[in-house]
Amino acid sequence: MQHRSAEAQDRDEPTAGAQLMVERDETPGSAVSRRAVLGLGVVGLGVVGAVGAGMSGALDLWPGRATATPEIPDGAANLTGGHPIATKPPASVADWRAGGPPFYIAHRGAGIVLPEHSLEAYHAALDWGATCLEISIGMTSDGVLICLHDATYDRTTTLTGPVAEQPSAVLAKGRIDIPRLGPRWQGDGRPQIPLLDDVLAQIGPHAILCLEAKDDNAFKPMMKAAAAHGLNGRIYAKLHLPATARVAQARAAKVPIFMYAGTATDLAPARLDPVLRDLDRARDVIVLPAVVDNAPIDPRIVSRVVGRGVPVWMYPVMRRSEALHFLSLGAQGLITPDIGYVSSTTASAQADTWAKGALASGELTRFPYSEKFGVRWGDPATDAGVIRLDVPGESSYLLLGQLCPVAPPDGSYQLEFDYRFDAPATPEHALTVAFGRADDRYVGPTAEAGSTGYRVVLRPDGYAALLADDGGTTPTRRTLAQASIEPTPVDVPVPGWKRLGIAVTPTSISVSRAGVEVLKSTHTAYRGGYVHIGRDGRRGPISLRRVRVTTPGDPRGAQA
C-alpha cells in the first residue's frame, strides 16, 4: 500500500519561522476595510450554539440539528462585506457559489479552537456560520473510512502508527488528544476519532464538504460514501496538484475539484498553468498556500493566478488582517481553522474562558497549529484558569482576538489581568502588552514596518515602561514613560500574583499595578482595537489569569 511521504502529508501546514505580514487598506468605506459586527455571542465554549443580540429564542433553521442558531438580518455582512452568512444550508455547490465571494471554508472543523477533525469541531464550525467545511479522510486496514489529517495516528490521537496498517477495532480505545487546546479537551473530554459515515450523516446535510483522501486507496470508497449519502452535488474533491488520475475520477463522478498547489514547485508557471487550463472556472477552484518556503507567498503570484480566471482560495487564513490582504489581491475563498473569528460571526467578549479549560475563538499564538508555540495550561486542581507563556528559546505572544476589536463608543476602556513571573528575576525576559493596534497581525518583540501602537513592558527586576511603536518604512520605538517598581535582585524569585491595569481614554493612557498608577502618557496617536500579551526573552515563563475588558456604561463589564 502506498503512503504519502511525511513531507507530502504536512505540506499544507504553516511552516515554523514564517510570519505573514500584510498591509491594511485604510481607505474609508473600502470593501476590504469594512467590518460589520453581527452581534452574535457564544454559549459556554461556543460548541453548542450561539446566542446574542438579535436572537428570538432557540431557532432550528437547520432541521435535524438540535442547536440554537443565530438569527441574522437579511443582507447582514461579515468581516469583508458582500457575502452574507447563510441562514440556511446551501442546496448544492452551484447554489453556494451563486451567493458570490468571499467564501469561508472551515479547516479541520474549528481546528485551532477545538480538537481538529472531531465532530465537536465540525459542529462548532456550523454554529459559527460555516457553510463549507474541509474534511480529511483516512482508511483503516479493514476498509473503514475515518476523519484524520495525517496518515498516522501519532500527532493528534492517543493511538500510534499508520492508519492504513491497523484495523478499525483500534478506534474503540483511541481518542483525539491535543494538549495545547486546554484541559477541557483532556481526559474524559477527549473526543472520539469520527467515522466518515457519521460526519456525512451529521454534517453533510448542512454544508458543502471538501473531501480529501489522505490515502490514494481511500479515494474511490470516499466518493462512493458521499454518493450513498446523496451528497455528490454538495461536495468538492480536494486533490493535490497534479493528481491526474483523481481528476479523471472526479470528472467521471461530476464532482467539482478543489486543487491544492502547496509548494514552490507547484507554483512554478510551467507546472501550474497546464493545471489551471484544465480546471473549470465555473465549478473548480485552485488553492494557494499563504506561506511558501518559510516566507509569505509573493502577492504577485496570487495576482497572477487570479488573473488566469480560476477562482483562488487561500490557506491557511488565521487572522482578519490576512483575510483582508488576500481578498484585496482578488482571492475569493479563505480556508480558516477559526471561521468564527476570521468571519466575525462570534461577538467580541469581555473576559477569557480559561477557567473553563479551553481557548476561545480568536486566541492565536504565532503558529496556532503548533504544540511548541501553544500556551501551557495550569493544573486544574491548583491553577485553574491559568495559562502560561513559555515557548522554549523564543519570545511568545498571544492575540486576545476574542476581546477584539475593543471599540467602545467614546474610545475609553480598561484592560486588566493578573500576571506572575514563574522564574527568578532576570533582565533577559519581560511581560509585554501590545495594544492600540489597528489590526491583528502578529506582534513580536521588535518594532515592525507598518505596525503602530503601544507596549507596556514589565520586567521582573522592576523596570516598567510605556512605549510607542511608530510604523513606517523604518520603524521606530519611543519611550513615553518609565519607572522602577518593586525592584527585585537578579536571580531572586519574584513573589506572587500582581494585577495590571491599562486605562485608555481619548486623551490619555494610564498604567496601574495593584490599583496604583505607575505610568501615564497623553499620547493619542494610536487607538486601534487589537491586543496581544507576550513574554519577551528566551527564558522565564509568565503566567496569566482573569483577563477583563471593561467599558463605561457597559453592564457586561460591571459583571466581569
Mark whether 326 and 425 lie in a shared domain: no
- Taking the C-alpha atoms of residue 150 and residue 89, their distance in angstroms, rounded to an integer, is 29
Q: Between 8 and 111, whose confidence is greater? A: 111
In Å, how far are 245, 250, 449, 534 from 239, measured between CA atoms?
Answer: 10, 10, 37, 38
Span 18-32, pLDDT tens digits: 444 333 333 333 333
Confirm whether 348 is domain-assigned. Answer: no
The yes-or-no verdict on residue 135 having pLDDT over 90 is: yes
- Number of structural domains, the chain? 2
Residue 76 predicted with pLDDT over 90: no
pLDDT over 60 (residue 195):
yes
* Domain endpoint, select from 342, 362, 394: 342
Contact status, residue 401 vs residue 488, Cβ threshold 8 Å: no
User: Comparing 132 with 347, which gets the higher pLDDT?
Assistant: 132
Is 349 inside a domain boundary? no
Task: From 327, 390, 382, select the one nearest 536 (Cα to Cα).
Answer: 390
Residues 334 and 401 in one domain: no
pLDDT for residue 220 is more than 70: yes
Bond preceding residue 179 cis, omega within 30 of 0: no
Q: Give the domain-ending residue among 285, 313, 342.
A: 342
Share of residues in the chain with pLDDT > 90 (%)? 70
How far from 530 is each of 92, 338, 442, 542, CA to CA, in Å?
Answer: 37, 17, 10, 21
Q: What is the pLDDT of residue 170?
A: 98
Cell numbers representing residue 212 in the block: 480529501
Query: What are the beta bridge partners of residue 417?
Result: 500
Q: For residue 180, is pLDDT > 50? A: yes
pLDDT at 390 over 80: yes
CB neighbours of 481 closer than 8 A, spacing ≥ 6?
Answer: 465, 466, 511, 519, 520, 521
Comparing CA positions, the residue from 36, 100, 101, 18 lying closest to residue 329 is 101
Query: Which CATH number fits the domain that encloses residue 316?
Result: 3.20.20.190
Q: Is residue 164 part of a domain?
A: yes
HSE-CB at 134 with a 13 A cutoff on CA atoms is: 32
Residue 560: the pLDDT is 39
Is the domain of 312 the same as that of 447? Answer: no
Confirm if 311 and 333 have CB atoms less than 8 A apart: yes
Whether residue 338 is found in the same domain as residue 251? yes
pLDDT grade for 237, boundaries at 50, 70 and 90 = very high
pLDDT value of residue 49: 29
Alpha-carbon 166 to chain mean position: 32
Identify whether residues 320 and 433 lie together within a single domain.
Answer: no
- Verify that 15 and 90 share a domain, yes or no: yes
- pLDDT, tens digit, 9 for 90 and up, residues 394-449: 999 999 999 999 988 888 999 999 999 998 877 778 999 999 999 999 998 887 87
245 domain-assigned: yes
Strands 257-260, 103-107: parallel, antiparallel or unpaired by DSSP?
A: unpaired
For residue range 501-549, list pLDDT tens digits in order. 999 999 999 999 999 999 999 999 999 999 999 999 877 899 999 999 9
pLDDT (mean) for 224-247: 92
Write a three-state SS string for 50-111. Answer: CCECCCCCCCCCCCCCCCECCCCCCCCCCCCCCCCCCCCCCCCHHHHHHCCCCEEEEECCCC
- Which single residue is written with the C-alpha cell 481546528? 111
In angstroms, the CA 467 to CA 454 distance is 6
Hey, how many other C-beta atoms are within 10 angstroms of the C-beta on 179? 13
C-alpha cell of 28? 474609508
pLDDT tier at 555, thresholds 50, 70, 90? low
* 1 in a structural domain: no
147 and 211 share one domain = yes
As a whole-number percent, the residues of the chain with pLDDT over 70 amount to 83
Q: Dump pLDDT digits (tens) for 257-303.
A: 999 999 999 999 999 999 999 999 999 999 999 999 989 999 999 99
Residue 103 falls within a domain, yes or no? yes
CA distance 423 to 493: 6
39 within a domain of the structure (yes/no):
yes
Q: What is the pLDDT of residue 119?
A: 97
Picking from 201, 164, 157, the residue whose alpha carbon sits closest to that of residue 179 is 157
Do residues 325 and 420 both lie within one domain? Answer: no
- pLDDT score of 425: 74
Same-domain status, 432 and 507: yes
More confident residue, 295 or 60: 295
Q: Average pLDDT over the chain, rounded to whole?
A: 84
Question: What are the tens digits of pLDDT across the range 455-505?
Answer: 999 998 889 999 999 987 788 899 999 999 888 787 778 889 999 999 999
Task: Give the contacts of 211 (CB within 8 A, at least 6 positions apart).
Answer: 135, 137, 222, 223, 226, 235, 236, 237, 238
Note whether 147 and 193 are same-domain residues: yes
Least confident of 217-221, 307-311, 379-383, 538-542: 538-542
As a whole number of angstroms, the distance between CA 350 and CA 41 comes to: 11
**Does residue 491 belong to any structural domain of this protein?**
yes
Query: 140: pLDDT confidence band, cut at 50, 70 and 90?
Result: very high
Q: Is 446 helix (H, G, I), strand (E, B) or coil?
A: coil
Does residue 347 surpass a pLDDT of 90? no
Using CA atoms, how far apart are residues 161 and 190, in angstroms rounded to an integer?
19
552 and 516 inside one domain: yes
Chain centroid to CA 59: 27
Which residues span the domain enclosing 383? 354-559
Specify the CATH number for the domain of residue 495. 2.60.120.560
Region label for 107, one of left (φ > 0), alpha (ψ between -120 and 50) or beta (otherwise):
beta
Say yes or no: 126 and 253 in one domain: yes
- Can you tell me the distance from the alpha carbon of 122 to that of 339, in angstroms, rounded to the nearest whole number? 11
Choose the final residue of a domain: 290, 310, 342.
Answer: 342
